[in-house]
Each structure stands twice: as structure tokens, then as C-alpha cells.
Amino acid sequence: MVRLSKGGGDAVITKEFDANKKEFIKDGFFIDEAKSGASYIDENTLIVASNFGEGSMTTSGHA
């Protein structure tokens, strides 16, 4: 997973990246811009914190 931000801000776009091929995975996992996070638990499991709607964010806009 690669996290990309505009100007180093807290909000990021998260995209799945193939480190061996050095390219983003076509139709890979993607999280729209938000103060979010994603981490692998194992090879096939990703845990995600993001804006999933009302009640899913703190008052400062973090997941």
C-alpha cells in the first residue's frame, strides 16, 4: 500500500502497489482521499480505517 498526500497533509489517497514491478496494480485496492490508514494483517487480509460515513470519524476528521 502506498499513501499519497497533497503537500504532506494528513488526508491521503491509498493505492495498492507492486514493489517488484514498481507500478500500481491495475484495479487494485484504493481508498479515496481521507485521513485514513490501511495495514496488512497477513497476505490476504487488510485492515482499513477511513471515513465510512456518519459516526466513523473523530471531531478532528481522523478515522
Would the pLDDT of 26 be above 90? Answer: yes
Q: Is residue 35 part of a domain?
A: yes
Across residues 27-52, what is the average pLDDT?
Answer: 90
Amino acid 41: pLDDT = 94
Q: Is 12 helix (H, G, I), strand (E, B) or coil?
A: strand
Q: How many domains does the chain have?
A: 1
Sheet containing strand 12-15, edge to edge, reads 2-5, 12-15, 30-34
- Per the structure, the complete domain to which residue 16 belongs is given by 2-49
| Distance from C-alpha of 31 to C-alpha of 36, rounded to nearest angstrom | 8
Amino acid 9 reads G
Would the pLDDT of 13 be above 90? Answer: yes
Which of the pair, 61 or 26, is modelled with greater confidence? 26
Average per-residue pLDDT in the chain?
A: 90
Q: Is residue 36 part of a domain?
A: yes
| pLDDT band at residue 16 using 50, 70 and 90 as cut-offs | very high
Q: Is residue 29 part of a domain?
A: yes
Q: Is residue 63 part of a domain?
A: no
